[in-house]
Structure 1
């Protein structure tokens, strides 16, 4: 049995080297969204985070397919105000920017007086997750039509979809922070909102994560809230959950990519992590 701990990148001189776990379903040499989003979130928080600031809104534009080559991250502290901190980053490969991130953090404080409306949470964790060992990293997928299972292909239907994962390390031998885990699980907004009867034919070009708080435990989930599509363009939103309840929202925009449609029920699907 291998003792290898899964991670999307290894830290090397000059940057980060993608591993096989970072491979995308969209192409043999493409990197997946959680790997790129996670790396951007990690580096902006690591270089510019502060305990008294809450990383509240992260947007990552995925405007060029990232590939399995040496990857670097350039960050900039744009504004360091009393209540608001703004950071930007570029994810760079071979001198070309493949993704750009923006992080807005707010200083933590006491809430104002009064009560506000909130929807009633209806996300129920799979019972099997409670008995999983801490080392388990195989995700769960769920749909209203089927319930929770371990196979994405069993949920290629037109009902509401949800996803649960522990997220693997962005960089080997470095545990993910709660913020990084939140950013990575939010990337499954594309899966939960774009999965349909023939798999996924929309590829997201961005991700926005809005967090009211940081997640408190390992198993994190997304549940589709909305999916709107017209003329080959889709918009999807999902609520982010941990065992305590909702903690944020994921939002993606996507463009039709039928030439590379991902059929999770196909015999050729290789079962890579999402």
Structure 2
């Protein structure tokens, strides 16, 4: 089974799938978030609790070197459990995350306003057990695997089937959501010259876990000035929305990423 990490001798080792588009010696934020979620989920109080909020701080590059994962329960109660996790390399915390597990219950009575949702879903299914390259949609264009399709200023969506985070373990719905949440940077900050911002954090909020192997993400809002961009997305499956993700990103114009070149370097087919 293809996976982003292997687990040996108490440490995690990245596979080539986890390498960042920004640097060959660093790991992608998607893989980092997926691995942190993998560790946090081991502290779940049980099936009646939802990992309702996942936040990750990506303040140092996570290197393509062995990873030590640390975690602890910060607060435990009848309706909420807070858990912290961190990635440690070279005796430094490189990234950290927190999850709030909330006890699920019936919705209160009454009608409350909710916005109409425009959530594009491809007819083609990405439901293979090994995962698949993502599909992209820009504006009114068709869904495509082409990593060059987003070189424009249109609103973007991506549709994902995430491979295993850790070798030998099927990806869980929470790991899938955490992994895809980091692609908020891609769908919101991908423009006519590539991706020029690198996100420093991820704030994922879920009302339910995604169902099935597919998970979409669509840009909802973006505000940018002074080399800082704040962007918000909706995550959704074939049933409907599962939650939102907000990121804060810094300009990285000196190393702007061409996604077509990134895909070619990883051996991902890019149709022309």
TM-score category, normalised to shorter length: over 0.9
* Cα distance in 1 between the residues matched to 2:54 and 2:9: 27
**Counterpart contact for 2:130–2:163, Cα < 8 Å:** no
Aligned to 1:172: 167
* Cα distance in 1 between the residues matched to 2:55 and 2:151: 28
* Cα distance in 2 between the residues matched to 1:122 and 1:50: 33
Matched residues, number: 268
User: Structure 2: any 5+ residue segments left out of the alignment?
Assistant: none
Matched, 1:207 2:190: no
* Aligned match for 1:151, one of 146, 149, 165: 146
Aligned to 1:23: 19
Note the 1:51-62 alignment, pairs <5 A: 51-62=47-58
* Cα distance in 2 between the residues matched to 1:147 and 1:269: 21
User: CA separation of 1:24/1:111 partners in 2, compared to 1, >3 Å: closer, same or farther?
Assistant: same
**Counterpart contact for 1:14–1:72, Cα < 8 Å:** yes
Note the 1:220-231 alignment, pairs <5 A: 220-231=215-226
User: CA separation of 1:32/1:268 partners in 2, compared to 1, >3 Å: closer, same or farther?
Assistant: closer
Deviations 1:139-196 (A, max 9, x none): 1011115321101211111110000111111100101111111111111111111011
Q: What TM-score does the superposition give when structure 2 sets the normalisation length?
A: 0.94
Aligned to 1:105: 101
Aligned to 2:62: 66
Aligned to 1:232: 227
The CA RMSD over aligned residues, in Å, is 1.7
* Aligned match for 2:31, one of 29, 35, 42: 35
* Cα distance in 2 between the residues matched to 1:209 and 1:82: 22
1:120 Cα deviation from its structure 2 partner: 2.0
* Aligned match for 1:8, one of 4, 12, 28: 4
* Cα distance in 2 between the residues matched to 1:272 and 1:89: 32
Deviations 1:179-216 (A, max 9, x none): 11111111111111101111100000110100000001
User: CA separation of 1:49/1:191 partners in 2, compared to 1, >3 Å: closer, same or farther?
Assistant: farther
Matched, 1:95 2:91: yes
* Cα distance in 2 between the residues matched to 1:267 and 1:25: 6
SS at match of 1:213: coil
* Cα distance in 2 between the residues matched to 1:244 and 1:143: 22
1:135 Cα deviation from its structure 2 partner: 3.9
Using the TM superposition, name which of 120-129 and 72-81 deviates more. 120-129
Matched, 1:191 2:191: no
* Cα distance in 2 between the residues matched to 1:266 and 1:58: 31
User: Structure 1: any 5+ residue segments left out of the alignment?
Assistant: none
User: CA separation of 1:200/1:115 partners in 2, compared to 1, >3 Å: closer, same or farther?
Assistant: same
* Cα distance in 2 between the residues matched to 1:111 and 1:145: 35
